[in-house]
Chain A
Amino acid sequence: MKKLFPFFLTGIFFGIVMYKSEAISWFRIQEMFRFDSFHMYGIIGSALGCGLLIMQAAKRGIIRDINSENIIAKNKEKGVYRYLFGGTIFGMGWALTGACPGPLYILLGSGYSVFIVVILSAMLGVLSYGLLKDKLPH
C-alpha cells in the first residue's frame, strides 16, 4: 500500500495549476479547436517539452522513485483502430463539454455542481465500453 497523502497533495497542486492556467475553461478549449489562440498549444507544448526531458532522465536513472528504484514507463499496446476511433469520440466529447477527465473533476470542485452529471455520464460511457469491448475493433 502506497502512502496516499502525498498523492492528495499532488492532486491539490494539479487542480490549482489547471484552474489558474484556464485549461479547464470551455472557452479556452473552443479557442484551441478554432486555432484562435496560442494559449492551450503553449500549455500542452511546454508540458510536453518538459515531459520529454523528464522521461529521458527517468530512462537514464537520473530521476528515480522514492524507493530509489528505476521508473518504468509502460509501453502502450500496439494498434490503430482503438486509438483513432476512441480518440475521435473522446475529442468530440472534449469539444462538447469543454473538459477532459481531469478538468471534469476540477470544475466540480470549483463549484460547477452540474458537472457531477457530466461525470456520471462519463462513467456510463465507460460502463458501455466495458460491455461492448469485445465487439469493438482495437
Chain B
Amino acid sequence: MLEILKNPWPWYISGPLISLTMVILMVLGGHFGISSTLRSICSILGAGRVAEFFRFDWEAQGWNLVFVLGAIFGGFLASHFLTANTAFTIHRDTIEALKALGISFQNEYLPTDIFNWASLASPKGILIMVLGGFMVGFGTRWAGGCTSGHAMSGLSNLQIPSLIAVIGFFIGGLIMTHFIFPFIFSS
C-alpha cells in the first residue's frame, strides 16, 4: 500500500483529489482560493497603514491561512515519507528544449542550480525568483485569483471572468516560455 502511495500519482487520481479538496473546503464553510492568503499576510504585517486595500477583515479568512499552513506541512510530510524511488517522467522534448537553454534536469522538482540561495546573488536568479514571485503576487491580486480561485472554483462555477483570467494565465505563460526564456537563459 505504502509503495503505491510513494509512486507518482497519475493525473486521473490527482485531478479528482484536487476537486475533493475544493468540496471539503466548501463543506467546512470556506472556499478554494489560495492567492488571497498573500493579501491576508500583508494585512497582518500592517499593510493597512499604507493602502486601503489591506483594511479588511482578514480574521474572517483565518481558516484559509490555517489551510495553507496545513499545505506546507503536507509538503513536508510527503517529501519525507512519500518520496518515490522511480525517476521523474518529464517528456524528452521538454528536457531537450531546456537543455538547449542551459537548464539541466537532475531528477528534481525544479532546476536546483537556479533555485538556491547562492543564485540570489546573480541577476538571473533575482529575475527568476524575485521578479517571478512579484509577478505571481501582483498578477493574481489584479486578476482576483489564481489557479485555485479561477481555474478551479471559477470555471467549475461557469464564471466568464474566470475563463478570461485562465486565458490570460496561458497567454502569459506561453509568452514567457517561448519568447522571453531564450533571452533570459541564453546569456
Docked complex: A53-81 residues within 8 A CB-CB of B: 54-55, 58, 63-67, 71, 73-80
Instruction: Tell me the complex Cα distance, A89–B166, Å.
Output: 11
Instruction: Tell me the complex Cα distance, A65–B31, Å.
Output: 11
Option from A29, A43, A108, A115 in Cβ contact (under 8 Å) with B11: A43
Instruction: Tell me the complex Cα distance, A74–B36, Å.
Output: 15
Instruction: Tell me the complex Cα distance, A67–B28, Å.
Output: 9
Say whether B133 contacts A126, CB under 8 Å: no
Q: Mark B98-134, 1 if CB is under 8 A from A, else 0.
A: 1000000100011100011100100000011111111
Docked complex: A27-60 residues within 8 A CB-CB of B: 27-34, 36-40, 42-52, 54-55, 58
Complex contacts, A49 vs chain B, CB 8 Å: 15
Say whether A102 contacts B147, CB under 8 Å: yes
Instruction: Tell me the complex Cα distance, A54–B124, Å.
Output: 43
Option from B16, B64, B129, B139 in Cβ contact (under 8 Å) with A121: B129
Say whether B14 contacts A23, CB under 8 Å: yes
Instruction: Tell me the complex Cα distance, A82–B14, Å.
Output: 30
Docked complex: B50-68 residues within 8 A CB-CB of A: 50-54, 62-64, 66-68
Instruction: Kindly report which residue of chain B lies nearest to residue A12, judged by CB atoms.
Output: B74
Chain A contact residue count (CB 8 A cutoff):
117
Instruction: Tell me the complex Cα distance, A130–B29, Å.
Output: 27
Candidate in A14, A15, A74, A126 with the most chain B CB atoms within 10 angstroms:
A126
Instruction: Tell me the complex Cα distance, A112–B131, Å.
Output: 18
Q: Closest CB-CB distance, B82 to chain A, in whole Å?
A: 6
Instruction: Kindly report which residue of chain B lies nearest to residue A8, judged by CB atoms.
Output: B70
Complex contacts, A136 vs chain B, CB 8 Å: 142
Say whether B168 contacts A11, CB under 8 Å: no
Instruction: Kindly report which residue of chain B lies nearest to residue A138, judged by CB atoms.
Output: B142
Say whether A86 contacts B142, CB under 8 Å: yes
Say whether B42 contacts A83, CB under 8 Å: no
Complex contacts, A74 vs chain B, CB 8 Å: 31
Say whether A16 contacts B82, CB under 8 Å: yes
Say whether B75 contacts A110, CB under 8 Å: yes
Docked complex: A91-138 residues within 8 A CB-CB of B: 91-102, 104-115, 117-131, 133, 136
Q: Mark B14-40, 1 if CB is under 8 A from A, else 0.
A: 111111111111111111001101110
Query: Could you tell me which B residues sit within 8 Å of A by CB distance?
Result: 5, 8-31, 34-35, 37-39, 41-42, 45, 47, 50-54, 62-64, 66-79, 82, 88, 90-91, 93-95, 97-98, 105, 109-111, 115-117, 120, 127-148, 150-162, 164-178, 180-181
Query: Could you tell me which A residues sit within 8 Å of B by CB distance?
Result: 1-34, 36-40, 42-52, 54-55, 58, 63-67, 71, 73-80, 82-102, 104-115, 117-131, 133, 136
